[in-house]
Chain A
Amino acid sequence: MKGKASDKGHNSTGFITLAHGSGGKAAHELIIRLFLPHFDNPILRTLDDQGVFQVDGRKLALTTDTYVVVPLFFRGGDIGRLAICGTVNDLAVCGAKPLYLSAGFVIEEGFPLEKLDRILLSMKEAAEEAGVAVITADTKVVERGACDGLFINTSGIGIVPDNIEISSRSVEAGDVVLVSGAIGEHGIAIISEREGISFETDVASDCAPLSNMVETILTGGLTPHAMRDPTRGGLATTLNEIAVASSVEIEIEEGLVPVSPAVKSACDLLGFDPLYVANEGKLVAFVPEGEAKDTLRVMSQGKYGKNASIIGRVVSKGQARVYMKTRIGGRRFVDMLVGEQFPRIC
Chain B
Amino acid sequence: MPRFTEEFENPEDAKLLLSEIRYLAQSCNKEKIQLMEVCGTHTVAIFRYGIKELIPDNIRLLSGPGCPVCVTPNSAIDQFIGLSRTPGVIATVFGDMMRVPGSGSSLEMEKARGADVRVVYSSLDALKIARENPDRQVVFFAVGFETTAPTIAAILLTAAREGVENFFILPANKLVPPAIKAVLDTEDLALDGLICPGHVSTIIGSRAYEFIPSRYGIGAVVTGFQSTDILYATCLLLRQIAERRPRVQTQYSRLVSDDGNTAALKIMYQVFETCDSSWRGLGRIPESGLKLRPEFVRFDSSGRFDVAVHESREPEGCLCGEVLRGKKEPPDCALFGNSCTPEVPVGACMVTTEGTCQAYYRYAEGE
Q: Are A346 and B11 in contact (CB under 8 A)?
A: no
With a cutoff of 8 Å between Cβ atoms, the chain A residues found around residue B51 in the complex are 328, 330
B:100-149 near A, CB below 8 Å: 108-109, 111-113, 119-122, 124-125, 128, 143-145, 147-148
Q: Are A17 and B108 in contact (CB under 8 A)?
A: yes
Asked whether A165 is an interface residue with its Cβ less than 8 Å from the other chain, the reply is no
> In angstroms, how far is the closest chain B Cβ from the Cβ of A62?
30
User: Which of A15, A29, A330 interacts with B53 by CB under 8 Å?
Assistant: A330
Q: Are B14 and A328 in contact (CB under 8 A)?
A: yes
With a cutoff of 8 Å between Cβ atoms, the chain B residues found around residue A18 in the complex are 108, 111-112
Mask: chain A, 332-346; 1 = CB below 8 Å from B; 0 = not: 110100111111111
**Interface-side segment among B1-9, B248-256, B281-289:** B1-9
Q: Are A344 and B9 in contact (CB under 8 A)?
A: no
State which size class the interface on B falls in. Answer: 35 or more
Q: Are B50 and A346 in contact (CB under 8 A)?
A: no
Inter-chain CA distance A26–B344, complex, in Å, is 9
Inter-chain CA distance A195–B119, complex, in Å, is 11
- Consensus secondary structure, chain A interface: loop
> In angstroms, how far is the closest chain B Cβ from the Cβ of A231?
20
Inter-chain CA distance A342–B54, complex, in Å, is 29
Q: Are A13 and B354 in contact (CB under 8 A)?
A: no
Q: A198-B121, A328-B14, A330-B49 are known contacts. Are A261 and B6 too (CB-CB below 8 A)?
A: yes
Which residue from chain B places its CB closest to the CB of A329 in the assembled complex? Answer: B54
A:239-272 near B, CB below 8 Å: 255, 261-262, 264-266, 268, 271
B:34-56 near A, CB below 8 Å: 39, 41, 44, 47-54
With a cutoff of 8 Å between Cβ atoms, the chain A residues found around residue B197 in the complex are 346
With a cutoff of 8 Å between Cβ atoms, the chain B residues found around residue A11 in the complex are 343-344
Inter-chain CA distance A332–B51, complex, in Å, is 9
Which residue from chain B places its CB closest to the CB of A29 in the assembled complex? Answer: B343
Which residue from chain A places its CB closest to the CB of B149 in the assembled complex? Answer: A346
Inter-chain CA distance A271–B52, complex, in Å, is 20
Mask: chain B, 325-367; 1 = CB below 8 Å from A; 0 = not: 0000000000001010111100000001110000001111100
Q: Are B5 and A265 in contact (CB under 8 A)?
A: yes
Q: Are A13 and B343 in contact (CB under 8 A)?
A: no
> In angstroms, how far is the closest chain B Cβ from the Cβ of A142?
19
User: Which of B1, B41, B111, B341 interacts with A201 by CB under 8 Å?
Assistant: B1
User: Which of B14, B119, B362 interacts with A329 by CB under 8 Å?
Assistant: B14
With a cutoff of 8 Å between Cβ atoms, the chain A residues found around residue B362 in the complex are 333, 335, 338
Asked whether A194 is an interface residue with its Cβ less than 8 Å from the other chain, the reply is yes
Inter-chain CA distance A331–B227, complex, in Å, is 13
State which size class the interface on A falls in. Answer: 35 or more
Inter-chain CA distance A187–B9, complex, in Å, is 23
Mask: chain A, 1-23; 1 = CB below 8 Å from B; 0 = not: 00000001111110111110000
User: Which of B14, B111, B361, B365 interacts with A332 by CB under 8 Å?
Assistant: B365
Asked whether A25 is an interface residue with its Cβ less than 8 Å from the other chain, the reply is yes
A:304-344 near B, CB below 8 Å: 323-333, 335, 338-344
B:74-112 near A, CB below 8 Å: 94-96, 98-99, 108-109, 111-112
Q: Are B227 and A328 in contact (CB under 8 A)?
A: yes
User: Which of B39, B353, B363 interacts with A341 by CB under 8 Å?
Assistant: B353
Closest 10 CB pairs of A and B: A330-B50, A342-B95, A328-B14, A196-B125, A338-B342, A346-B147, A9-B344, A9-B341, A326-B50, A196-B121
- 12 A–B pairs (Cβ distance < 8 Å), ordered by A: A18-B111, A18-B112, A19-B108, A24-B343, A196-B125, A268-B226, A328-B50, A328-B228, A341-B353, A342-B353, A343-B121, A346-B200
Sample of 16 further A-B pairs with CB below 8 A, known A18-B108, A265-B2: A8-B341, A13-B109, A196-B121, A196-B122, A198-B121, A262-B1, A271-B41, A324-B50, A328-B9, A329-B15, A329-B18, A333-B365, A339-B342, A342-B353, A345-B354, A346-B200
Interface set of B (CB-CB < 8 Å, partner A) = 1-3, 5-6, 9, 11, 14-15, 18, 39, 41, 44, 47-54, 66, 68-69, 94-96, 98-99, 108-109, 111-113, 119-122, 124-125, 128, 143-145, 147-148, 197, 199-200, 225-228, 231, 337, 339, 341-344, 352-354, 361-365
